[in-house]
Chain A
Amino acid sequence: EDQVTQSPEALRLQEGESSSLNCSYTVSGLRGLFWYRQDPGKGPEFLFTLYSAGEEKEKERLKATLTKKESFLHITAPKPEDSATYLCAVLSGSARQLTFGSGTQLTVLP
């Protein structure tokens, strides 16, 4: 059974204070690892797809990296508008749908 664990559950940063969110996973044959942003009262917004260890993707202040056991979402010089819950999900070889982690709630204080 695919498993995804995200840490920390919640993170408070000062504006400009860089940090990383962790997503560790156990799957049988990874087809892809995905990062999403979810604002309160809204559905998830797709951010990145990573397919193989060593791969990196960047978007504005966000950078996602992937190893064989975990992924990191690095946030550089965050702003208050980056406050949201960040979800990680995996798709394994035999799965018909995504397996999600429980998310990291990020708060960036001005």
Chain B
Amino acid sequence: NAGVTQTPKFRILKIGQSMTLQCTQDMNHNYMYWYRQDPGMGLKLIYYSVGAGITDKGEVPNGYNVSRSTTEDFPLRLELAAPSQTSVYFCASSPRDRKDLAEAFFGQGTRLTVV
């Protein structure tokens, strides 16, 4: 099993550009999450999904959008990139809604720099 796969691993964007961070999982998990982690900080929840066709906002959703058309994929869209979106982005999946992340599987992360 590949687990949770994120692409790309690194990206540099110019201010105002847009991009999509890809996330796919092959474990048939219903729950998927997007987090961002700023340097020397913990995680902040951006968006999450409890199943195909259902998404909801987390703590820091502004400037981002998501979709969940299939169980496997949960892409994160950045529109009009801003320097404040420079961060490391983690996608995670879980077989259950575990706010403590006890059963969550994480991708390797996408390091995004907006210049």
Residues of A within 8 A of B (CB): 4, 9, 32, 34, 36, 41-44, 46, 49, 87, 89, 91, 96-103
Contact = CB atoms under 8 A, between A and B. Distances in A.
B113 interface: no
Interface string B36-52: 00001111110000000
B19 interface: no
Interface of B: 40-45, 58-59, 90, 92, 99-104, 106-109
Shortest 3 CB-CB contacts between residues of A and residues of B: A100-B42, A43-B106, A97-B45
Which of B41, B43, B102 has most chain A Cβ within 10 Å? B43
Contacts of A41: 108-109
8 contacts: A46-B101, A91-B99, A98-B43, A98-B100, A98-B101, A102-B40, A102-B42, A103-B40
B97 to A, nearest CB: 11
Question: Per DSSP, are chain B's interface residues mostly helix, strand or loop, or mixed?
Answer: loop
A12 B108 CA distance: 26
A42 B101 contact: no
B102 A46 contact: yes
A93 to B, nearest CB: 12
A50 B101 CA distance: 14
A43 B90 contact: yes
B40 A44 contact: no
Contacts of B59: 96-97
A46 B58 contact: no
B109 A97 contact: no
Nearest to B90: A43
A43 B92 contact: yes
Nearest to A45: B106
Given A97-B59, A102-B42, A42 B106 contact: yes
A102 B108 CA distance: 20
Which of A36, A43, A97, A98 has most chain B Cβ within 10 Å? A43
A12 to B, nearest CB: 17
